[in-house]
Chain A
């Protein structure tokens, strides 16, 4: 993929495996993508595609044992995060790169008022007094649309949507350059999801934050992202600018994903699902890991691992159908 110095984040050949009794779980395999300042990339894939593992890898939060980054580099702002010590990484987490989780209830501490939890993050990363931290916390709550009177309330007193707003406030309290949002609206109802997405979009633009949006919902990508990376079996199989990818998808898996979604604006008789199941990450198919489910699979697909091939400006596909001089 293109080496670009303006990139805020550049992930190259990242592989993360989990070594357990039963064998090796190849969760992330030779994954590549990059992100410019202020840009939002949608990391799209189904359960087990390795989206969350990638996010935890960036944060150096892979539990080891059993997990281990076996290959690759994660260059953030000129530094390879994989080479930082735990202490250095701690300084990065929360202040430079922060994360929003799917279930805000489990990521908030039930025994502290929300304001204190936001202030805590600020105090951890910046040299401020307690009063200043609390003041910042109150500003953040105001930004995410939580009324001042509720600052001293506890997490359980909020609804799911409000709690996610608190999660966003914590994530953005130190003004990070990179925000990783792991399915932030999956647990929410659509009308609440719309509120939260709107809020995230606004705050991101205001602070010029880069964002990795992990989701399984192509609708959310259309809504909020600039770029898309489609993940399958731990690697990015297709990446492009949002418009290009939506209007001109190339990889058979991406096309299959689009065909699987019931369209509310069209009236189709039958859905065209992708056949088969997600592969077992302990026993990935050889060659292109999508080949057993692919309608266009050729004999060599089970032997050769496809490389990233540029099909259009900034549009890369990992599929032998598009490889230069493909057999």
Chain B
């Protein structure tokens, strides 16, 4: 399948009084049409910023975002409006991402009104009703305000709003982390069905490796603004190479009581500040396999086997 989105050397630095904050620092990835790239990492690793820069909700500091063959970072206002219709974002917090003063139907109708996608009230009403049906919202809820609904239903409103414009590409920024597990599973299944039915392409951002594994075709692990490992979803879990990925995987509490003890890697310390990061590997300070070379040279993201990229001096290509 063809590549829908390609990100090249994307950078986003934020100005802070203490120096530039390297939120996203030179990352590269591709997403094929109809597939999902899972972006996983801990808080502050730059995964949410990446999602927003890719949609130009935040302006990039450098690099390219190539969507359907064109660099959207060069787009002028008119072209941007077209791109906005084609690419959407679902937010983490279904409580903050819906306007509390608008009813469910008003929220879902808004993209249609703004982009003049419906002629007359009747067509608008029908489109809203169809969208509510698609995401599994009962029609009796159309006049209800968001605060009267639970998190799962609110997240469905957010999804319906996003689908209104028939986008090709959706960024999901932690869409299920505010939800309870039983509701989370409902939403994940919904997203999965929508992707199949409409051939959608997803960039799925989450800190939850279980969720990421479930939804993704490929997974990229981020640490402090860099992608440290990227591969198809199976190899990341079956054969993690980067020490950070290994630690991350071993840190997840698994809901199972086996007699076999899992090997546990407990990292020392906290994630360092992304402001003025030192040269060398970003993971150096917490790495349990560090060597001298790591301190001064920043490892590049190398393809160590077909489709498996790792940024670590300890993982040579020939392994």
Which of A's residues lie within 8 Å of B, judged by CB? 46-47, 159, 161-162, 189-195, 197-198, 216-223, 242-243, 246-247, 256-265, 267-268, 270-274, 277-278
Cβ distance A162 to chain B, nearest Cβ, rounded Å: 7
Inter-chain contact A189/B207, CB cutoff 8 Å:
yes
A-B contact pairs, 5 of them (CB 8 A): A219-B252, A219-B253, A222-B255, A260-B185, A273-B182
Q: Which residues of A lie under 8 Å from residue B292 when comparing CB positions?
A: none
Inter-chain contact A222/B247, CB cutoff 8 Å:
no
Inter-chain contact A270/B192, CB cutoff 8 Å:
yes
Known contacts A47-B180, A189-B207, A257-B181, A222 near B248 by CB under 8 Å: no
Q: Which of A159, A190, A260, A272 contacts B184 (CB 8 A)?
A: A260
9 closest A-B pairs by CB: A219-B253, A273-B185, A218-B255, A262-B214, A46-B180, A189-B42, A194-B251, A260-B185, A271-B185
The answer to whether the Cβ of B19 comes within 8 Å of any Cβ in the partner chain is no
The answer to whether the Cβ of B59 comes within 8 Å of any Cβ in the partner chain is no
Residues 73-123 of B at the A interface (beta carbon under 8 Å): none
Q: Which residues of A lie under 8 Å from residue B194 when comparing CB positions?
A: none
Inter-chain contact B180/A256, CB cutoff 8 Å:
no
Q: Which residues of B lie under 8 Å from residue A198 when comparing CB positions?
A: 266
User: Which has the most chain B C-beta neighbours within 10 Å: A46, A260, A274?
Assistant: A260
Inter-chain contact A190/B180, CB cutoff 8 Å:
no
Cβ distance B290 to chain A, nearest Cβ, rounded Å: 16
Q: Which residues of A lie under 8 Å from residue B181 when comparing CB positions?
A: 46, 216, 257, 260-261
Q: Which of B182, B188, B266 contacts A194 (CB 8 A)?
A: B266
Assembly CA distance A232 to B42 (angstroms)? 30
Known contacts A262-B211, A262-B213, A268-B214, A217 near B186 by CB under 8 Å: no
Inter-chain contact A274/B254, CB cutoff 8 Å:
no
A-facing mask of B259-271, CB < 8 A → 1, else 0?
Answer: 0000010110011
Cβ distance B247 to chain A, nearest Cβ, rounded Å: 6
Q: Which residues of A lie under 8 Å from residue B153 when comparing CB positions?
A: 277
Q: Which residues of A lie under 8 Å from residue B151 when comparing CB positions?
A: 47
Known contacts A189-B43, A277-B150, A277-B152, A243 near B257 by CB under 8 Å: yes
Residues 228-271 of B at the A interface (beta carbon under 8 Å): 234, 237, 247-257, 264, 266-267, 270-271
Q: Which residues of A lie under 8 Å from residue B43 when comparing CB positions?
A: 189
The answer to whether the Cβ of B166 comes within 8 Å of any Cβ in the partner chain is no
Known contacts A198-B266, A220-B253, A247-B257, A271 near B189 by CB under 8 Å: yes
Inter-chain contact B267/A191, CB cutoff 8 Å:
yes
Q: Which residues of A lie under 8 Å from residue B256 when comparing CB positions?
A: 222, 246, 265
Assembly CA distance A176 to B141 (angstroms)? 49
Inter-chain contact A222/B257, CB cutoff 8 Å:
yes
A-facing mask of B199-212, CB < 8 A → 1, else 0?
Answer: 00000000111110
Assembly CA distance A66 to B159 (angstroms)? 37
The answer to whether the Cβ of B275 comes within 8 Å of any Cβ in the partner chain is no
> Chain A: which residue is nearest B250 at the CB level?
A194
Cβ distance B200 to chain A, nearest Cβ, rounded Å: 17
The answer to whether the Cβ of B183 comes within 8 Å of any Cβ in the partner chain is yes
Assembly CA distance A161 to B271 (angstroms)? 10
Q: Which residues of A lie under 8 Å from residue B186 when comparing CB positions?
A: 273
Cβ distance B271 to chain A, nearest Cβ, rounded Å: 7
> Chain B: which residue is nearest A268 at the CB level?
B214
> Chain A: which residue is nearest B152 at the CB level?
A277
Assembly CA distance A241 to B184 (angstroms)? 27
Inter-chain contact A265/B248, CB cutoff 8 Å:
no
Assembly CA distance A257 to B185 (angstroms)? 10
Inter-chain contact B254/A264, CB cutoff 8 Å:
yes
Assembly CA distance A194 to B255 (angstroms)? 14
Inter-chain contact B257/A263, CB cutoff 8 Å:
no
Q: Which residues of B lie under 8 Å from residue A193 when comparing CB positions?
A: 251, 253
> Chain A: which residue is nearest B44 at the CB level?
A189
